Amino acid sequence: MILEARERIKPYIHHTPVLSSNLINDQLGAELFFKCENFQKVGAFKSRGAVNAVFSLSDEECKNGVCTHSSGNHAQALARAAMIRGIKAYIVMPETAPSVKVAAVKQYGGEITFCKPTLEARESTLAKIIEATNATEIHPYNDIRIISGQATAAMEFFEEIEDADILMAPVGGGGLLSGTAMATHYFSPDTKVIAAEPERADDAYRSFKSKTFIPSEDPHTIADGLLTSLGSITFPIICNFVDDILTVKEESIIKAMKLIWERMKIIIEPSSAVPLAALLENKIDIKGKRIGIIISGGNIDLNKLPWIK
Amino acid sequence: MILEARERIKPYIHHTPVLSSNLINDQLGAELFFKCENFQKVGAFKSRGAVNAVFSLSDEECKNGVCTHSSGNHAQALARAAMIRGIKAYIVMPETAPSVKVAAVKQYGGEITFCKPTLEARESTLAKIIEATNATEIHPYNDIRIISGQATAAMEFFEEIEDADILMAPVGGGGLLSGTAMATHYFSPDTKVIAAEPERADDAYRSFKSKTFIPSEDPHTIADGLLTSLGSITFPIICNFVDDILTVKEESIIKAMKLIWERMKIIIEPSSAVPLAALLENKIDIKGKRIGIIISGGNIDLNKLPWIK
C-alpha cells in the first residue's frame, strides 16, 4: 500500500529535501537529517495522506464530496486534494484554529463549519454534515489510506539517507507516526523509530507505556497539531512497530523551534520541533549517531510567535 | 576573476538552492526563481566575497590578520573566513548592529570594536585598529576580490536557470549588485539586471539616475543591510552594467518579507525582500517573464519582527 500510495500521489506532491545543519550537529554531537515536510504542498506532510485517500476513492464513493474534522493541516490538505479531483470538501474546524489555516482552507475552496474545540463537538458536527450531504468521511489519521500516504515521507527519507540509527516523528493522532513506523519496518528495518510528544499532551506516551488506550484529555500545548487522541488503527501499529515515545516540556519545544529557525533559516511549526526538543533534553543517548527527524509542517501564524510576548 | 573565485571558494561555501513558489508565481503572473543565499554559510552571500578575499591574500599579506567595518553579515563572513585560514579578524561594528549578528561574529572568534553608527565613526575607528595591529583591511564591498566572490551567486544561478529575462538584487554598497551585473554580462548577456533599494535609503538610485556619486545620508530603513553608500569601484560598474534601479516603500518590504516567510517557509532578512517588494509595487511589467531574485541573507533578530508591534 505504501508503494502504491507513492505512485498515486507523485503528480500532486513535492519530493521534499533532507537538510542538515553543521551548527546543530556540533551542538548535539550527532548527525541530524531533517526531512522537510514544511516545504510540502499546503506546508505539511498531511498532503500525502489526503491526496492518497481522495485519489483512492471510486467515482461513486466521491461523487458527494469528502468531509473531515481537523485542527488545521489535514483540513487544508483535504480541501486541496478535493479541488484537484474536482469534488467538494466539507471541513469541520475548531473555533480555535489558527487564522492562517482557516484562510488556507477557504483558498482551496473548502466549505468550513466551525465548532467547539472538543472531540465530541467535532464528531457531532461532522455527523450532521454527513447526514445532510452524504459526503465520504476522510478521517485525519485513523484511516489506512491516510497512514499509507504519510508513510511515503519516511520511504523517501530512506532512499536518500542510508544507515540511519534512529528516525523520529512527533505524535498526535498517530497517522504520521504509524506510517513512519511501517515504512521503517519495510524499507529500513535496522532503524529504530522513536516518537516525541509534549508532556502536556502525553496520551500517546501513556497509552504506549501501559499498552492500554488512554484518550487525550484537555491537552494544553503550543504544539497545536498534537492535541488529538490515538485511533483504533494507529494505536496498535504504534504499539507493535515504534521503539519508544519520549515526552518534552513546553519550553524545550519553543527552544528547539527557535534553534531551527535561527540556524537553518526555515520556518517550522511548533509540532515539528518536538523531536528535536527531546534531543535537547538529552532524553536518549545520541552521541555519534545518525538521526532522521520528520519536520511535520511549517504552518504557523507569524503574528503570534511563542518567544515574543 | 569570477571563474577563479568560484574554484577558490568552493570548499568553504554552500552551493545554495534555487527555490520557487507556485502561489507567489500565480499572484504575480510571472515565474520567479529565488537564489537562496539565506542558506549560505553565516546566512548570507557575504561568505562568498569574504572567503575569496581572505584566500586571495599571500601569507605575508595576512600574517597580521584582516580587519573591516560592517553592519553585520560581512563581519560574520570575514571572521569565519579568517578562522578557516587561521588568522585574526578585527571587526568594527556600529552599536546598533543586531545582537544576533554580534553574537555570530564572536562565535567565529572575531575581535569586535563598537562605534557610533556613522560612516565617519566606522572609518576612524578602523584606521586606529590598522595603526595598532597592521592588519589588512578587507572592505565590505569596494574591493574587486569581494565583488568577484559575490558574483559567483549569479554565476551559479545561470547554470541552473536558463533564459532568465531579468535578474534582481538589492543594492546597499553595491558589492552584490556589481558582482551580479558582471556575472550576467559574462554568463547570460541577454538577461537584464535590475536592482531594488528602499526609498528611505535611495542613494544608489539617485547616483545611478544622475550618473553622479551621491552618498547615503542618514538613511532610515528596516533593510539594515542596505544603509551604506556606493564605492569608487562599485559605482562605475553599476552605471555601466545595471539596467535599472527601482525604489520601494518600507511597507512593501515588510509585505514582501512576510509573503516569502508564509508561502516559502524560509527565513529571509528585510534586505532580501526589497526586489520582491518592487514587483509587488508593480514597478516594472513582469507578466509571463522569468525573473531571478538573489535572496541576500537570512540573519534577523527573531525577537523583533517588523509585523509584530
Question: For A146-164, how does the pLDDT look when each residue is reduced to its tens digit (9 = 90+)?
Answer: 999 999 999 999 999 999 9
Give the max Cα distance, chain A: 57
Q: At what angle do helices B175-187 and B234-241 cross, to 10 degrees?
A: 40
pLDDT confidence bin for A118, thresholds 50/70/90: confident
Q: So what's the pLDDT on residue A143?
A: 97
Q: A57: domain range?
A: 46-137
Is residue A79 domain-shared with residue A222, that is, in the same domain?
no
Q: So what's the pLDDT on residue A71?
A: 72
Chain-chain contact of A305 with B308 (C-beta, under 8 angstroms): yes
Is residue A218 domain-shared with residue A95, that is, in the same domain?
no
Q: So what's the pLDDT on residue B70?
A: 85
Cβ-Cβ pairs closer than 8 A, A with B, add up to 41
Closest C-alpha among A217, A214, A218, A221 to residue A196 = A221
Say if B308 falls within a structural domain: no
For residue B111, the domain's CATH number is: 3.40.50.1100
**Alpha-carbon distance B292 to B277, whole Å?**
14
Is the pLDDT score of B12 beyond 80? yes
Is residue A153 domain-shared with residue A280, that is, in the same domain?
yes
Say if A184 falls within a structural domain: yes
Of A117, A137, A157, which residue is a domain's last? A137
Say if A231 falls within a structural domain: yes
Is residue A96 domain-shared with residue A167, that is, in the same domain?
no
Is residue A187 domain-shared with residue A152, that is, in the same domain?
yes
Which residues 6+ apart lie within 8 Å of A225 measured at CB? Answer: A44, A71, A72, A73, A170, A172, A269, A270, A271, A296, A297
Please give the average per-residue pLDDT across A254-276, as a whole number.
Answer: 97
Is residue B25 domain-shared with residue B66, that is, in the same domain?
no
Per DSSP (E only), the strands in chain B are 18-19, 31-36, 66-69, 89-94, 111-115, 136-137, 166-170, 192-198, 244-248, 290-295
Is residue A194 domain-shared with residue A218, that is, in the same domain?
yes
Share the mean pLDDT of chain B: 96
Say if A179 falls within a structural domain: yes
Sign of CA dihedral A136, A137, A140, A142: negative
Residue that has been written with the C-alpha cell 506516551 in this structure: A205
Is residue B33 domain-shared with residue B166, that is, in the same domain?
yes
Of A92, A108, A137, which residue is a domain's last? A137
Q: How far away is chain B from the Cα of A267, in angstroms, using its nearest Cα?
A: 5
Is residue A162 domain-shared with residue A245, that is, in the same domain?
yes
Q: So what's the pLDDT on residue B162?
A: 95
Is the pLDDT score of A131 beyond 90? yes
Q: Phi/psi class of residue A208: alpha, beta or left (left: φ > 0; alpha: ψ in -120 to 50)?
A: alpha
> What are the strands of the beta sheet with A66-69, ordered from one edge?
A111-115, A89-94, A66-69, A136-137
Q: At what angle do helices B46-56 and B2-9 cross, to 10 degrees?
A: 90
Cell triple for B261: 516567510
> What are the strands of the beta sheet with B89-94, ordered from one edge?
B111-115, B89-94, B66-69, B136-137
Mutation target vs A (from B38, B101, B262; most A CBs, 10 A cutoff): B262
Across the interface, of A100, A265, A308, the residue whose CB is closest to B267 is A265
Is residue B84 domain-shared with residue B115, that is, in the same domain?
yes
Cell triple for B239: 552605471
DSSP B272: G
Is the pLDDT score of B119 beyond 90? no
Is the pLDDT score of B268 beyond 80? yes
Cell triple for B204: 544608489
Say if B301 falls within a structural domain: no
Q: Which residue of B has its CA nearest to A297?
A: B265
Q: Provide the domain count of chain B.
A: 2
Say if B303 falls within a structural domain: no
Is residue A14 domain-shared with residue A71, that is, in the same domain?
no
Parallel/antiparallel/unpaired status of strands A31-36 and A18-19:
antiparallel
Q: What is the ipTM for the molecules in this complex? A: 0.92
**Alpha-carbon distance A270 to A265, whole Å?**
15
Which residues 6+ apart lie within 8 Å of B60 measured at CB? Answer: none
Q: Which residues of B touch A38 (CB under 8 A)?
A: 265
**Alpha-carbon distance A182 to A150, whole Å?**
10
The string of pLDDT tens digits covering residues B150-206 is 999 999 999 999 999 999 999 999 999 999 999 999 999 999 999 999 999 999 999
Chain-chain contact of A308 with B305 (C-beta, under 8 angstroms): yes
DSSP A273: G
Chain-chain contact of A302 with B262 (C-beta, under 8 angstroms): yes
pLDDT confidence bin for A104, thresholds 50/70/90: confident
Residues A67 and A110: beta-carbon distance below 8 Å: no
Interchain contact B309–A (C-beta under 8 A): no
- Predicted TM-score (pTM) of the model is 0.94
DSSP B11: G
Residues B50 and B149: beta-carbon distance below 8 Å: yes
Residues B79 and B66: beta-carbon distance below 8 Å: no
Is residue A16 domain-shared with residue A155, that is, in the same domain?
yes
The string of pLDDT tens digits covering residues B202-250 is 999 999 999 999 999 889 999 988 988 999 999 999 999 999 999 999 9
Q: Which residue of B has its CA nearest to A267?
A: B265
Q: Which residues of A touch B262 (CB under 8 A)?
A: 100, 302
Element containing residue A32 per DSSP (H, E): strand A31-36
Chain-chain contact of B307 with A302 (C-beta, under 8 angstroms): yes
Q: Which residue of A has its CA nearest to B300?
A: A262
Say if B57 falls within a structural domain: yes
For residue B86, give the 3-state DSSP assignment.
coil
Say if A29 falls within a structural domain: yes
Of A121, A137, A153, which residue is a domain's last? A137
